[in-house]
A and B are shown apart, each in its own frame.
Chain A
């Protein structure tokens, strides 16, 4: 039972354009969401997070949007750079879960120069 779904296995974007990565969740108890980035042969690294009391969080070129009614979040990268090419994982948690995270399967982003 996949509680966090990333339905696009891959995405290809031209350098300088916007990359939009999507994530859907089914568990309405989730109230904290994160995005992790992973390069080959490395572990995931934290990118950005958002609490359910917000609908947007920005950090430089990265913005996460949360639509609670649709149980959907998205990560926007503007402008996209070749160094952003990586696997992006969406993750979620809720209070009773403690610090455990439920991850999606990931989306491979390729930024072409």
Chain B
């Protein structure tokens, strides 16, 4: 158990809908990362938050947004969903600096299926 909790584990929805994925980091970790893994591809970095502030951004679509709350949990919002958004979404956390070399601890992921 990595200590990173992601909910829900599975999500099935329709095109055009909006969903929210939730992540609770390990106790004491200040940084949260979101990654997307599409079929037969590696994990693609989406976004990083550190202590409530956006720290780094990857190739995150404009239809996607995220935030980190004062209690350090994070939510990834996906809107106007398309079939191609179907993927496994991982959250990871690290702390206390969120800087390079800090080990990432991953949650077990949310499997999103857009039908």
Contact = CB atoms under 8 A, between A and B. Distances in A.
Contact of A105 (B2, B35, B42, B94): B42
A99 to B, nearest CB: 5
Contacts of B31: 99
Contacts of A97: 56, 100
B99 A99 contact: yes
Contact of B42 (A45, A89, A95, A99): A89
Contact of B90 (A32, A41, A44): A44
Contacts of A104: 42
A43 B4 contact: yes
Contacts of B106: 36, 43-45
Contacts of A2: 42
Contacts of B109: 43
A98 B56 contact: yes
Interface residues of B, number: 30
A43 to B, nearest CB: 3
A59 interface: no
Interface in B75-112: 90, 92, 94, 98-109
A43 B56 contact: no
Given A100-B33, A100-B48, 18 more contacts: A42-B108, A43-B4, A43-B90, A43-B108, A44-B106, A45-B105, A46-B103, A46-B104, A89-B43, A95-B100, A98-B56, A98-B99, A99-B100, A99-B102, A100-B56, A103-B35, A103-B42, A105-B41
